[in-house]
Structure 1
C-alpha cells in the first residue's frame, strides 16, 4: 500500500514538473527561405559577387596575357629576363589565389551582413509566438540550437553564485 502511494506521488510530481515546461521546435531555415526579403538578399549577394568576379576576371586576363607574352618571347629572352618574368608570373599567380580566397571570405561576410536583419526579425517573431503560446523553450530543427528560451529558466546566475564568481554589472 505504501509503495502505491509513493508511486502515485512520484507520478503526480513528475506530471506537475512537466506541465511547467513547454518545449517546441521551429524550422528556421525553412521560414527564412519563404520570407520575401530572402529574394532581395539573394539578388544583392549576386550583384556583389558579380562585382568581385569582374575584378577577378581582369586580374586573370592580365595574367594570361603575361603568360602568352612570356611564351612568345621565351626563346629570345636572356636568362636574367626569363627569371624576372617567371618571378613576376609567380607573384601574379599568388596574387590571384589570394584574391580568390579573399573574395570567398568577402562573399561570406556580405551574405552574413545581409541575412542578419532576417534572422533578427525571425528571432523576434519566434519570441512573440513562444510567449503568446506559453512555450518555455523552442529548439531549431536544424542545428539543435535554442531559438527561444524563457529567461526564468536560465540558471546562469545561480551557477555563478554557487561558484563564487561575481556577476558583472549590466551594460546599457
Structure 2
C-alpha cells in the first residue's frame, strides 16, 4: 500500500512540475529566407554572386572554345595523321575534356564557397536579432519555419502570434514589405 501511494505521489509531482514547465514555455518561429529577401544586403549579395558566376563561366567557356577548335582541327586532319600522331592528339583532347569537367566542378564549389562567405555575416546579423527579439519578448524557443525548402513546422495554432519574422526585421531597422508576406508580426 505504501509503495502504491509513493508511486501515485511521484506521478502527481511529475505532472505538476510538467504543467508548470509548460506555463513558462513561449515558442515562436522565423522564416529566415523571408527575412533575407527583405534585407538590403540581399540584393548586393545576389549581384556579387551573379558577377562571380559570370566570371567563372567566361573562364570555362574560353577553355571549351579552345577544346572545340582543337577538336575541329583534329577532325579535319585526322585522315592525314599517322596513327601515333592521331593517338597523341586524341589523348590531348581527352585530357583537355577532363580538365574542363574538373574546372566546372571547381567553379561550382568556388561559387558555393563565395555564397557562404557573403551570407555568413548576414545570417549572423539575423541570428543576433532573433536572439534580441526572443529576449525582449520572453520566448523560450525559436524555430525555423523551414530548412532547405522543407517545412519544419507542420502545425501552428496561432500563426500571427508565432511568426516573429517581421519583429526580427524591425529589430534590424527594416520595414517589412507586405508584398512578400513571409512574416506577420
Give the shorter-chain TM-score range.
0.7 to 0.9
CA gap 1:8/1:91 in 2 versus in 1, 3 angstroms: closer
TM-score, normalised with respect to structure 1 = 0.75
Deviation of the 1:10 alpha carbon: 7.3
1:111-163 CA-to-partner distances (Å, cap 9, x unmatched) read 11111111011000100000000011101111349xxxxxxxxxxxxxxxxxx
User: Is 1:100 matched up with 2:100?
Assistant: no
Mapping 1:160-171, distance limit 5 Å: none
1:41-87 CA-to-partner distances (Å, cap 9, x unmatched) read 00000111111111111100100000000011011100000000000
User: Is 1:110 matched up with 2:114?
Assistant: yes
Equivalent residue, structure 2, for 1:15: 19
Show structure 1 runs of 4+ deviating over 3 A.
6-15
- Structure-1 separation of matches of 2:28 and 2:59: 47
Mapping 1:9-158, distance limit 5 Å: 13-143=17-147, 144=152
Runs of 5+ unmatched residues, structure 1? 1-5, 146-172
- Structure-1 separation of matches of 2:16 and 2:98: 70
Q: Count matched residues.
A: 140
CA RMSD of aligned residues (A): 2.0
Runs of 5+ unmatched residues, structure 2? 1-8, 154-185
CA gap 1:17/1:62 in 2 versus in 1, 3 angstroms: same
Higher relative contact order (CA 8 A, sep 6+): 2
Partner of 1:21: helix, strand, or coil?
coil
